[in-house]
Amino acid sequence: MITFLGGIALLVLAYFTYGFYIEKNFQIDEKRRTPAEALKDGYDFVPMPKWKNGMIELLNIAGTGPIFGPIMGALYGPAAYLWIILGCIFAGAVHDYMIGMISLRNNGAYLPELASRYLGKSMKHVINIFSMLLLILVATVFVVTPANLIYSILPDGTVSVAVIIGLIFVYYLISTVLPIDKALGKVYPIFCVILMISTIAVGFRLLTGGFEMPNLTVATFKNLHPTGLAIFPALFFTVSCGAISGFHATQAPMVSRTCTNEREGRFTFYGMMITEGVIAMIWAAAAMSLFDGKTLSEIIAAGTASAVVNQVMVMLLGSVVGTFAIVGVVVLPLSSGLSAFRSLRTILADYLHIKQDTLPKIFAVTIPLYVVSFVLTTVDFNLLWRYFNWANQVTAVIGLLVATRYLVLKQRNYWVSLVPAIFMLYAVVMYILSEPLGLGLGLTPISYGLGFLLTAGLIYLFWHSGQKQLRRLSPESFLLNDQRPIQFYKTLDADL
């Protein structure tokens, strides 16, 4: 229990300390007009209040990641706590804040456009592919998981999973084409209240129910996975949402288009990632406290992590209240799935230069995406989850490198994003080298050494290209460009 409570306390404290430093390092400008005000269009660029932006951001980024990931991460024991705490504070929240604020400084541009601007134009095509791959996987995962959760609480034979999936697609299709303040602004605050009530209820029962909550000690700081799966790099892909997730880089720009002041950034981006970390801590603690590693592994293997969610809710809250609380979990993937489709439509439309100003144009981009996603729902969920996790963390590395390049050009402390970028890049490289989905070399001294060399080489190329960029464009020009009048925003050239 000490590790659980201490970890949550550290997460909250980090918001007021390290989060404040990250904000100061970015150098916000409260007088600077935001895209929501300068480019207001009544559809995507719509000024909304800070509290509503925070709720939308939380539901956008949460999904089932901070629940399913920690549940499966609990198989490694209390080591999962450490990754959630440190990853969230020093990697995930920094990543979310930087991408959200850089997007806000660049017309609410999405990650492919930001990568093109700060990493080079050739990167735009690569990042577009990765972003769209990630989003279609995320969207599909967040169709399948709420369908399974809803099916688990319905009486047997009431309705099939396929019918539930179809209804979710209908909901997504309607919501995707509505203005953001109607599709998200009206519904998400209600979803957020349901989420917080169910999460607090689970946490409260863990603390008051007499459950034995494992602590992180020298004895428990070891690999407790029942099948011996190595902590590195597996844990850092299993627990992504709740620690660091590239999916968030596809969502923060959506909210950057509705913020009305740069001072909102720490609450909306850094703060909501900290909140997600707290949710992840609660579910990791629930999985560790209620099940031993073998039992937890068997439940997951027999279905998906949704089966664990169902059992946790019933065991902690009873069948009636627990069933209601599952609704609080269902809203997570529903909201993130909707946001994923909305972001995917925007990125694809921008890439193909299809202006989204009429319903036929919106449907022309949206419907093919839904068809592809529907086909993917027939693929084994565990396989989808593994591909999602890999694409997710690759995108996180890209987001951190964009943040690093931005800070270098602004002559600010870039180590805050470069250090987690290097660590996650090494994890991504090792995953490709060791996993059967990649080269299948396994975790051997050779693969670790090769991974180190490849990571070092990639970081050198990144740094070398950055120095060339600095020689072409002086840091002073970037500082001056931040003071440009608002008409420059319309060229998507706020910083360059």
Taken as a whole, the chain contains a residue count of 496
pLDDT at residue 438, as a whole number: 63
pLDDT at residue 85, as a whole number: 97
Contact 39, 301 (CB under 8 A): no
pLDDT at residue 363, as a whole number: 84
Distance CA 200, CA 206 (A): 10
Contact 312, 290 (CB under 8 A): yes
pLDDT at residue 280, as a whole number: 94
pLDDT at residue 494, as a whole number: 45
Nearest to 423 by CA among 95, 20, 11, 118: 95
The correct CATH number of 2-380 out of 2.40.110.20, 2.60.40.180, 1.20.1250.20, 1.20.1740.10 is 1.20.1740.10
pLDDT at residue 227, as a whole number: 82
Asked, as a colleague might, if the bond just before 485 is cis with ω within 30 of 0, I would say: no
pLDDT at residue 484, as a whole number: 42
pTM across the whole model:
0.86
Which parts of the chain register pLDDT below 50? 475-476, 478-496
Type of residue found at 205: R
Tokens of 298: 């068997």
Contact 292, 134 (CB under 8 A): no
Residues 6+ apart with CB under 8 A from 99: 111, 114, 248, 249, 252, 253, 269, 399, 402, 403
Contact 304, 145 (CB under 8 A): yes
Phi-psi region of 107 (alpha: psi -120 to 50; beta: other; left: phi over 0): left
Collapsing DSSP to helix, strand or coil, 309 comes out as helix
DSSP string, 9-44: HHHHHHHHTHHHHHHHHHT--TTSPPHHHHT--SSS
Number of C-alpha atoms within 13 angstroms, CB side, residue 144?
23
Q: What is the number of other CB atoms lying within 10 angstroms of the CB of residue 71?
A: 30
Type of residue found at 431: Y
**Burial (0-12, 13-18, 19+ Cβ within 10 Å), 445:** exposed
Residue range 81-116, pLDDT digits in tens: 999 999 999 999 999 999 999 999 999 998 888 988
pLDDT at residue 137, as a whole number: 81
Distance CA 73, CA 83 (A): 10
CA distances from 39 to 349, 355, 490, 496 (A): 18, 15, 8, 18
Distance CA 480, CA 455 (A): 34
